[in-house]
Amino acid sequence: MEEKQPLETLVYTISLGEYERGFILFQKKYVFPKNYIMTAAFAIVAALYVFQIVENPAYSTAWVMLLVCLFFISLIWYNVFKIRKSLINSIKDIKEDTYEAKVYNDGLEISVKTEKDEISGEETLPEIPAKEISFALDKPDAIENAEMFVIYIKKQMFYAIPKRCLSPAQEEVLRNVLKESGDVKFIDKLKKEKA
């Protein structure tokens, strides 16, 4: 991707609220389905112990196992919120960063724009290498909603690109590249939100 001309270059910032909403979309797609299954399994086991308690209220093992099941259900969902809060706390310092995303037919290149010192003209922080996202190799998922585009890679990393920083033409270029790539699973939540 380095030698080609990008179809479009997107320059954007992302607020903590937008980052959190992007992470919630990520969790809904990859974390919540597993949590629903685990919650259902523990709820079924808990229900079996409730039946045993109804039949014999003095059955102390059933009471203990019911509490264990309820504890694990609570823990499953507590971790979702704890991880989100921890992530947001860890990125508070980067909320003012400016990002640049170069859009190509076969991928994206996302980088952090570093600021230059006004007097010396040198960069104030070391340059962070750009992240190249190859549609063919990384097989990303992408979600578009009314507020942003979110690109997911390997169920581990996500990039949120807020629409407030993009022109309608830039939105259209990014949308078309993501939709037309056979290697990107594109989910259009805009249609669902309008319906």
Give the pLDDT confidence of 119-166 residue by residue, as tens digits: 555 655 667 788 899 999 999 999 998 999 999 987 668 889 999 999
Q: Report DSSP state, residue 113.
A: E
Radius of gyration of the chain (CA): 23
Burial of 100 (0-12, 13-18, 19+ CB in 10 A): middle
pLDDT at 2 over 70: no
Burial of 26 (0-12, 13-18, 19+ CB in 10 A): buried
Could you give the CA distance from residue 62 to residue 75 in angstroms, rounded to a whole number?
A: 20
With a CB cutoff of 8 Å and minimum separation 6, the contacts of 176 are none
What was the pLDDT predicted at 92? 79
User: pTM here?
Assistant: 0.77
Beta bridge partners of 144: 149, 188
